[in-house]
Amino acid sequence: MNSLNTKHALQQADAAHHIHPFTNTRELNARGVRVITSAKGVYLQDADNNQILDGMSGLWCVNVGHGRMEIVDAVTKQLEKLAYYNTFFNTTHPSVVELSRLLSEVTPANFNHFHFTGSGSESNDTIFRLARYYWELMDKPEKKIVLARRGGYHGSTVTAASLGGFPSMHKQGGMVVPDVFHAPAPSWWAEGGDLTPEAFGLRVAHQTLELIDAIGAHRVAAMIGEPIMGAGGVIIPPATYWPTLAKGLKERDILFISDEVICGFGRTGHWFGHEMMGTSPDFMTMAKGISSGYIPLGAVAISDRVANVLLEKGDEFAHGFTYSGHPAACAAAIANLNIMRSERLVEYVRDDIGPYLQAKWKALAAHPMVGEAVMEGLIGAFQFTPDKNARSFFPEEAKIGLTARDFSFDNGLVMRAVGDRMVIAPPLVLTRQEADELISKAEKVIDLTYAHARSHGLMG
């Protein structure tokens, strides 16, 4: 057996034995996988000793930055004391209790109960069941349908992927599960035509309510949405969209699920993304930033409206995971939330680094190849286009986004491509100097991609 102490040996063994998520592993093996070996603060280090600015916080999760010893120490202590015990059979343990109480402090006042899982996907599967169980307990078992949105991302288990609005996911493995419907997304740049963003936001909200009325509101249990669509390309909805929709859902007595897996825990400059969107959710989906990714953890926040019914009328909730409330994951989350509070990271994003990066990021839209550049808090995107006045798209086979993603990585910045939209969500601890570096690297990527597009005759 070869030892795995060179990049080449790692690549070979990875190709031989590892099937990657969201990857064509055959194509990846042909080109050679990137190897990341360590990370500190906002920087990754790869096997060639390149230093790369992690503009995606891993996968939107490492909010407090890499290498935080406070979290490492808390997890180590917890593992030494109690590595594992379950929370199923009338037992609990200190770290899950402390985390539950801490979450009730950082969430809005009507959230006081939490159920734990291992991921965002599991949290959404749990909420799918809980929302329908709530209506069964309310003697309205006909309320079963859950409305989601095209372009929404809610995870990869069968139910979560069904809630998501990605045809590429639905077509593998027999999804969508019954009783899930999809409404349009509030993607103004791509679909807004001649409408102002405000008018377009109203139109999509009304189309969604019309869809509900066509289905029959008496059959709709809940609607799920991310405050800002993340994996769908960082779609920041027009200001009119969520308030109109939230009011319509309330009038129809439909529960609202805010999927806060990306937008929660400070990403938008608020503790939770819905707080800036004018919605008042009955459930929140949590994962990623809850533990900054140090240990896998998901949670479901259950509002008093739902929790009271569960506690008063419910039987045993026949649901749970072996690792629900895992002691080490809870310890990581507690240490993570303590960092967020003591370093006032939500306020830092809202008042300082957020506005600082946003101003520079939005200025990228001056480039002839950039159609729009948007950012809230520290989550943003810009759109490549061959003709910014026509808001037109490059042909898919031109692979502009993927080309730019490679230019970016090779120039020391991780940006993700969603089609030809480049997205970014750096750690919340980003300094101004690091923000300047991020912007100058993004500018370089845009220039390189522009030269590439022109030399291939792709610009309009």
Q: Which residues of the shown chain bind ligand PLP in the complex (CB under 6 A)?
A: 60, 119-121, 153-155, 226, 230-231, 259, 261-262, 285, 287-288, 298
> 287 or 337: whose CB is closer to ligand PLP?
287
| 429 preceded by a cis bond (ω within 30 of 0) | no
Residue 224 CB, nearest approach to ligand PLP (Å)? 9
Closer residue to ligand PLP, CB minimum distance, 226 or 420: 226
Q: Which is nearer to ligand PLP, 154 or 388 (CB)?
A: 154
Q: How far is the CB of 231 from ligand PLP (least distance, A)?
A: 5
Ranked by CB distance to ligand PLP, the top (closest) residue is 120
Q: Which is nearer to ligand PLP, 376 or 434 (CB)?
A: 376
| Residue nearer to ligand PLP on the CB measure, 231 or 423 | 231
Closest to ligand PLP by CB, 11 vs 123, is 123
Q: How far is the CB of 37 from ligand PLP (least distance, A)?
A: 23
Nearest distance from C-beta of residue 298 to ligand PLP, angstroms? 6
Nearer to ligand PLP, 145 or 229 (CB): 229
Taking the least distance from each CB to ligand PLP, the nearer of 173 and 193 is 173
CB of 259 to ligand PLP, least distance (A): 4
> Please, what is the minimum distance in Å from the beta carbon of residue 300 to ligand PLP?
12
Q: Do residues 342 and 106 lie in contact, with contact meaning Cβ atoms separated by under 8 Å?
A: no
Comparing CB distances to ligand PLP, the nearer of 103 and 370 is 103
Could you tell me the smallest distance in angstroms from the CB atom of residue 347 to ligand PLP?
24
For residues 211 and 196, the answer to whether their CB atoms sit within 8 Å is: no
CB of 229 to ligand PLP, least distance (A): 8
Q: Encoding tokens for residue 228? A: 């800002």
Nearer to ligand PLP, 155 or 325 (CB): 155
> Measured between alpha carbons, how far is 383 from 293 in angstroms, rounded to an integer?
28
The secondary structure of the chain, three-state, reads CCCCCCHHHHHHHHHHHCCCCCCCHHHHHHHCCCCEEEEEECEEEECCCCEEECCCHHHHCCCCCECCHHHHHHHHHHHHHCCCCCCCCCCCCHHHHHHHHHHHHHCCCCEEEEEEECCHHHHHHHHHHHHHHHHHHCCCCCCCEEEEECCCCCCCCHHHHHHCCCHHHHCCCCCCCCCEEEECCCCHHHHCCCCCHHHHHHHHHHHHHHHHHHHCHHHEEEEEECCCECCCCCECCCCCHHHHHHHHHHHCCCEEEEECCCCCCCCCCCCCHHHHCCCCCCEEEECHHHCCCCCCCEEEEEEHHHHHHHHHHCCCCCCCCCCCCCHHHHHHHHHHHHHHHHCCHHHHHHHHHHHHHHHHHHHHHHCCCEEEEEEECCEEEEEECCCCCCCCCCCHHHCHHHHHHHHHHHCCECCEEECCEEEECCCCCCCHHHHHHHHHHHHHHHHHHHHHHHHCCCCC
Nearest approach in angstroms of CB 128 to ligand PLP is 12
- State in angstroms the smallest separation of the CB of 261 from ligand PLP: 3
